[in-house]
Structure 1
Amino acid sequence: MNRLTASVSAAAVAAGASLAMLAPSAVGAAAANVVQQVRAADLGPGRPWIRLQDDRNNENRQPGIQEVSPFADPVRFNGSLHLSIAGGQQAQAAHYYTAQVPLSTVAAAELSYDSYVRTVEDGATGTAANLQLPMVCQGAFTTLSFQPQLATDSQGRAGVVPDTWQHFESTGASLWRTSQALSTDPALPAGSDSPLSTYVAGCDAPGDGIIGLIANVGRLGAVDASLDTYVDNLTVNGTTYDFAVEGLAQGRVVLNRGNQDRPCHHASHPCPRTRGGASGGGGTAGGFVSFTDPADGPRYRAVGTRLVFSNGRALAPDDLTVTANGRPLTLTPGPGGTVTGVVSPTPSVDLNPGGTYRTALVVTHRGHPWRDGGDDGTGGRDRLKVGAELLATGYEPLQPTGVRAGTAVR
């Protein structure tokens, strides 16, 4: 059995009928990408994604780590694919189609992925996981590998930058390496690098095309070298594959009048409600913002909180004084008459699975009462409202994660 036959056989076992929707006729080049989540249960023998050791053609290769990880990606912050190797290992996760897709179709759509290299355990430099396209070209099997070390990421950085998420997208100048020699015109030797357009022009025989995609960390030259990487959001042929854990963090905001001296550090001890004027706290409220990560949730790096204050009319930063964890918070004008502020802990704080990130708040509203007319039936339309969103490090520090909470001051 040759490598092509074996790969297609593996595809049939791993993919099953559920992958029929990925046939090329179902996805047009101009169509929006479909997001397909990949969970831990989708990775393994006979499943939609197979690891290195699940393919019997890799019996002579020592597998590294290939798993869905809590490490938050920079787009959806819901986990990622962990690929790690040491001592001559190789790591990969492969997803095969049930039929070849013309390379011209794949090249006309978005081809991209996100990559992270951790230097703490990295014995190799300038290397990262790559996106691979296993394919048939002129009737022969080969694998095209995107070369991140020779590319520029979407933030304009050249090559692999350790300890940061990078988004790589294949462009006309991007280089792809062929694993096998190809009898194209001109012929391409094994290990040579060419733009994807070169392969599109040369791999045009009947039956040519890609048979799937692979996230791969290849064996390194030095036997004692190691490489610890994460990848996510692999986008090929109109589908974005989003590796994700099961849980997500949940937010909570508690902020009540008359509690400026008791900022309610524990969710189990909510602030008591206090009504009235200055004797009951007047224009000051205390409380907290908390984000709790379940045991099966992501690992959020270097977190923060974005606060948004509104009251149904145009607020200005001078209308409020806010302290977060006992420190004054800088406020700026936001859209629609809102006021915003960002809490950024120093030193940085991670939110790990099973943990809680909490910020104590004290808010003073100046200029007019919390809501016009007190409790005269206005329905609280001018009551101060506080929204909070969890921020975390992705491509850049303090990116929005989509985890939100809010409340109205009572």
Structure 2
Amino acid sequence: MNRLTAYASAVLTACASVLCLAPSAQADTQRVTAADLGPGRPWLRIQDQGSSAHPPGVQEVSPFADPVHWNGGLHLAIGPGQQSQAAHFYTGAVQLSTVMGSEVSYDSYVDGAHSTATGTGPNLQLPMFCDGAFTTLSFQPQLATDAEGRHGVVPDIWQHWVSGPSGIWRTSRAVAGFPAGGDAPLSAFAEACTGATSGVIGLIGNVGSLGDPTASLDTYMDNLTANGTTYDFAVDGTATARVDLRAASTGEEPARIDGTAVFHSPADGPEFVAPGARLTIGATTGLDPRNVQVTIDGVPAQVTSENGHLVAQLPRSLADRLLPGGTLTVPFTITFTGDGGNGCGYGGYGKGDDCGGNGGGEHGTATVTARLLARGYQPLQATDVSAEASIAF
């Protein structure tokens, strides 16, 4: 008997007469670090749960950045014949219908380069009792559609899985008329498992045995959400950004700003895959995207208007990865060209009394925000790593 089954039996004994209801948590995010994984800690790996039918693979908090908090994730990887788990248990059982009263979801990523099996991925599990019988329900991502509308598991991109009542889950053991290994909507299990000795006792991030004795699967999970709580796996360090600006042609035409965006992840910080950069440009006078040219890393970028500001980015990443301890330096130029057509002098930005003046330099004051992009739910997704600076030009 492994520790998971032993724990389940202990909870069942304690709750045999009256279901031990752990109150459904309020919407909350709990940070999980490397210090929280291991024997006697809030999250148990498979080797911490006693004997197992399969040897353990990798179960660790990794710097690999998730697409929500960008601060790391749970790394679960298996080689031939292995299994990986990180499990968190509640203080008591919670009716499955109560768990379904708030969102049940998670994020996952399959590293195709280090996996021989890419048609499946990590799954969220709910260990539970069904009228006194223990089982584990496992979400089936290969049978689901993610939040971006992609069906099944797609390698090398983050996917967000939300299980409503119709989400398909698989039971590990025969319970309430469902056969071992049987698939059914989550609502069907909730309707069948309602007795005083029924309830969910925790949640698990899992990569199970693949059946193929030669197969391997390298994955990441994060933001495991159930019973009103989201578990955010994170490293200790935080990535930072800096923007440096220089007016390269103050008082001359065309006006130009030279700049550098510097993104840095400390040694204990997150890792970003396929990083890029986005610039948001504002000014004390109106900006017309037709009259502004931007280069990023020496390459012309498309300039568009968004919420009263200009936005420029390249449609590609600037590096393979931004690793912990690494720095990504991105040079850029902003050139204000042509007549904005509003009678306010060069480029429509106004010189002094031409438009009543606005302070700043000959043309005004520009504010530039540089934001790090990385592979998330999309190949280039905005992260929360950004900085801004202003300059008279």
Normalized against structure 2, the TM-score is what? 0.87
| Secondary structure in 2 matching 1:108 | coil
Asked if 1 retains the 8 angstrom alpha-carbon contact of 2:96 and 2:190, the reply is yes
Q: CA deviation at 1:124?
A: 2.1
| Secondary structure in 2 matching 1:7 | helix
User: For structure 2, which runs of at least 5 residues remain unmatched after alignment?
Assistant: 12-20, 338-345
Q: CA deviation at 1:108?
A: 2.1
Query: Does residue 56 of the first structure (1) align with residue 50 of the second (2)?
Result: yes
- What does 1:31-42 align with in structure 2 at a 5 Å threshold? 33-42=27-36
1:360-385 CA distances to partner (integer Å, 9 max, x unpaired)? 122223426988649x9946794111
Q: CA deviation at 1:313?
A: 2.8
1:320-371 CA distances to partner (integer Å, 9 max, x unpaired)? 22222222222111212x1110134467532111111111122223426988
Query: Does residue 349 of the first structure (1) align with residue 320 of the second (2)?
Result: yes
Asked if 2 retains the 8 angstrom alpha-carbon contact of 1:303 and 1:344, the reply is no
Change (3 A) 1:371 1:314: closer
Query: Does residue 322 of the first structure (1) align with residue 297 of the second (2)?
Result: no
Q: Distance in 2 between matches of 1:315 and 1:377?
A: 14
Q: CA deviation at 1:253?
A: 0.9
% of aligned pairs identical?
Answer: 51
1:277 aligned to which of 251, 266, 290: 251
Partner of 1:359: 330
1:396 aligned to which of 375, 378, 381: 378
Supply the RMSD in Å over aligned alpha carbons: 2.6
| Secondary structure in 2 matching 1:198 | helix
AA of the residue aligned to 1:72: A
Moved more, 315-324 or 135-144: 315-324
Q: CA deviation at 1:41?
A: 0.8
- What does 1:170-189 align with in structure 2 at a 5 Å threshold? 170-182=163-175, 184=176, 187-189=177-179
Asked if 2 retains the 8 angstrom alpha-carbon contact of 1:370 and 1:383, the reply is no
Asked if 2 retains the 8 angstrom alpha-carbon contact of 1:302 and 1:393, the reply is yes
1:406 aligned to which of 369, 388, 391: 388
Partner of 2:94: 101
Q: CA deviation at 1:9?
A: 8.2
- What does 1:22-101 align with in structure 2 at a 5 Å threshold? 24-27=22-25, 33-58=27-52, 60-101=53-94
Q: Distance in 2 between matches of 1:90 and 1:284?
A: 57
| Secondary structure in 2 matching 1:310 | strand
Asked if 2 retains the 8 angstrom alpha-carbon contact of 1:4 and 1:136, the reply is no
Asked if 1 retains the 8 angstrom alpha-carbon contact of 2:105 and 2:163, the reply is yes
Asked if 1 retains the 8 angstrom alpha-carbon contact of 2:24 and 2:99, the reply is no
User: For structure 1, which runs of at least 5 residues remain unmatched after alignment?
Assistant: 12-22, 261-275
1:160 aligned to which of 153, 160, 164: 153
AA of the residue aligned to 1:296: D
1:45-66 CA distances to partner (integer Å, 9 max, x unpaired)? 11110100011243x5311000
Partner of 1:293: 265
Q: CA deviation at 1:297?
A: 1.4
Q: Distance in 2 between matches of 1:155 and 1:363?
A: 34
The structure in which a higher percent of residues are strand is 2
Partner of 1:302: 274
Partner of 1:146: 139
Q: CA deviation at 1:125?
A: 4.0
Q: Distance in 1 between matches of 2:133 and 2:2?
A: 10
Change (3 A) 1:397 1:198: same
AA of the residue aligned to 2:255: G
Q: CA deviation at 1:137?
A: 0.8
Asked if 2 retains the 8 angstrom alpha-carbon contact of 1:370 and 1:384, the reply is no
Asked if 2 retains the 8 angstrom alpha-carbon contact of 1:10 and 1:96, the reply is no
Normalized against structure 1, the TM-score is what? 0.84
